[in-house]
Amino acid sequence: MTASDTDTSDNDSAGPSAGEGPPSRLHTFFRDPRWALAMVRATVLEAAHPQIGAALIENSTFVAHPWRRLRNTFQSTQRMVGSDAQAREREAARLNRMHARLRGTDTKNRPYDATDPAARAWVVATLFESSVTMFRLSGQPLEQDFVEELYAEFKAMLAAMGDDPGHLPETLPEFWQYFDRMVATELENTEAMRVILYRLFEHLPAPPLLSGLPTLWAAARATAAPVVGAIAVASLPEPFRRRAGLPEIPGAQTLMQGAYLSIGLVRFLPESWIDPENIINLLSLTPGSDNPQARTVAALQSRIERAAALIRLLLPLPEPREPAARATTVSPAAAAYRRETEDFFRQVLDQTGNGTLDWPDLAAMARELSSRLDLDEPEETRLYQAFADWWQELQAALDTDGDGSVSAEEYAAGAPAMAGPALIRVAEVLFDVTDKDGNGHIDPDEYRTLFRTAFHRDTDTADGNGVVYTRGAFVKEFMTFMAGRQRTTPFDPLLAEA
């Protein structure tokens, strides 16, 4: 969910009617740059809910792949607030299928279920309340009528997901009582909340297009992360900050209000400069993409890297000291293999970033691929089932200590066993769902849908319409990639990059 301007002259309707366009207030809020801060605040409040926090920490890729998660969330929100009623219905159905797969128990052995109506109502509540708070902290409080209309539209969005809007209070005064009660009694200092506040921004990986500038990114992150964290904490309701034991940083309230005021001024810049779709697409581009923006930034990266190399020549750094010799020596080939397997494990297999390979990691792969291809039933279920079968195969082959997960050490010792029959089935199902027209090969348009770029390889077959990707070539390349034997493939930006 995102927001935009408060100009109420665009549309005075109180909410969407059946079959009409998007919720008027939500649509006008969608592109306000202040919503970036409000979204962080809402996400923290969501993560503090025990059920939502458990679902996030066990299933989400927001730690290991935050930029990909941002793009997917933005695209989902676009569909939910867009004018296409059919697109809204399809997206609501997709989200419901995704939520139905997210259930389990937390570290306190309490069950969680992403389809729980009360938990989903809390998600909508945090988005609405953070929208209103966004304007209040910016020195631009909303009129009561506007707030009531906005509340009606958020309730309508809950109804669009198939939930009874009655899970939120009927009137606005009752909502504020409900919100205060939730903050005072239901929210907890969850692990997911702590990760968002204290780990996510401090360890935020560079977006794909800036991955070649690690020093520059590390310096920018070290400067910005503490500021963003302090602003997020300061914006939370004071009773919850006190109950959760969150630190009171001197000057944080002033910093937070100044941030909201300053970012609010950004909305007066030319729209093309601050359009969130343009910004997110730019952050998500990979250096090898055929997109003109990617080529421009890649050229800039190359110049910066050459300048950095020149500086290192003129001002050489001290030679690093050799580490103390170990009792046992490892051959260069073995050390290189170890590094490669650890990188592949961390970047590709461990999608949730918890340090082990579990079913949620493979489910996250299926979820990403289903989203890329915009799959409906039954294709989506076929893909999930193929990944579930592969997980059973991996457990049997690699989980040597029987703890229900695969460690990096277990993977390194048994990596060749990954390329079994179940993985072949994953590749075959992925080919089938990508081959939309069922003609037995992946053409350039279908290739771009999956990889978000044009062909960057010589395929082994061509027909009268140009280059195509045959089933055999696709399955072979997917297998070599997922077994960790070939990293220079299109699958890197699909599953490995942040």
pLDDT digits (tens, 9 = 90+) for 178-195: 999 999 999 999 999 999
Specify whether 50 is located in the same domain as 126. Answer: yes
Q: What is the mean pLDDT of residues 57-86?
A: 86
The answer to whether 432 and 268 are in contact (CB under 8 A) is: no
What is the rounded average pLDDT for all residues in the chain? 83
The structure tokens listed for 455 are 């062909």
The answer to whether 431 and 471 are in contact (CB under 8 A) is: yes
Any idea which of 60-74, 386-400, 457-471, 480-494 has the lowest mean pLDDT?
457-471
Specify whether 258 is located in the same domain as 374. Answer: no
* pLDDT > 90? residue 461: no
* pLDDT > 60? residue 328: no
* The predicted structure's pLDDT at residue 169: 96
Specify whether 13 is located in the same domain as 61. Answer: yes
76 assigned to some structural domain: yes
Crossing angle of helices 85-100 and 66-81, rounded to 10°: 130
Specify whether 382 is located in the same domain as 309. Answer: no
Specify whether 16 is located in the same domain as 155. Answer: yes
The Cα–Cα gap between 182 and 364 comes to 30
272 assigned to some structural domain: no
Closest CA to 411 of 431, 390, 397, 428: 397
Specify whether 367 is located in the same domain as 454. Answer: yes
More confident residue, 459 or 417: 417
The Cα-based distances of 436 to 72, 93, 164, 430 in angstroms read 21, 20, 36, 11
Give me the percent of the chain exceeding a pLDDT of 70: 82
pLDDT digits 0-9 by tens, 259-284: 988 887 887 788 777 777 777 777 77
The Cα–Cα gap between 36 and 402 comes to 43
Specify whether 453 is located in the same domain as 483. Answer: yes
Q: What is the mean pLDDT of residues 219-233?
A: 91
The answer to whether 247 and 232 are in contact (CB under 8 A) is: no
Contacts 24+ apart (CB under 8 A), 240-247: 240/45, 240/48, 240/183, 240/184, 240/187, 243/184, 243/187, 244/48, 244/187, 244/188, 244/189, 244/193, 245/189, 246/189, 246/197
* pLDDT > 50? residue 303: yes
The answer to whether 28 and 7 are in contact (CB under 8 A) is: yes
The Cα-based distances of 5 to 141, 405, 479 in angstroms read 13, 47, 48
pLDDT digits 0-9 by tens, 194-219: 999 999 988 898 887 777 778 888 88
212 assigned to some structural domain: yes
pLDDT digits 0-9 by tens, 96-126: 999 999 999 998 999 999 999 999 999 999 9
Burial 483-496 (b: 16+ CB within 10 A, else e): bbeeeebbbbbbbb
* pLDDT > 50? residue 293: yes
Beta bridge partners of 462: 467
489 assigned to some structural domain: yes
Q: What is the mean pLDDT of residues 143-153?
A: 92
The structure tokens listed for 146 are 């506007």
Specify whether 301 is located in the same domain as 415. Answer: no
323 assigned to some structural domain: no
Burial 35-69 (b: 16+ CB within 10 A, else e): bbbbbbbbbbbbbbbbbbbbbbbbbbbbbbbbbbb
SS3 455: coil
279 assigned to some structural domain: no
* The predicted structure's pLDDT at residue 330: 62
Specify whether 262 is located in the same domain as 336. Answer: no
390 assigned to some structural domain: yes
* The predicted structure's pLDDT at residue 407: 94
The Cα–Cα gap between 116 and 163 comes to 9
Give 242's DSSP letter: H
* pLDDT > 80? residue 297: no
If one counts the domains in the chain, the total is 3
Confidence of residue 10 (pLDDT cuts 50, 70, 90): very low
Specify whether 310 is located in the same domain as 433. Answer: no
Identify the domain containing residue 439 by its residue range.
332-496
Specify whether 40 is located in the same domain as 122. Answer: yes
CATH number of 459's domain: 1.10.238.10
Report DSSP letters for 60-95, one per residue: --TTT-HHHHHHHHHHHHHHHHSS-HHHHHHHHHHH
458 assigned to some structural domain: yes
Specify whether 302 is located in the same domain as 234. Answer: no
Confidence of residue 4 (pLDDT cuts 50, 70, 90): very low
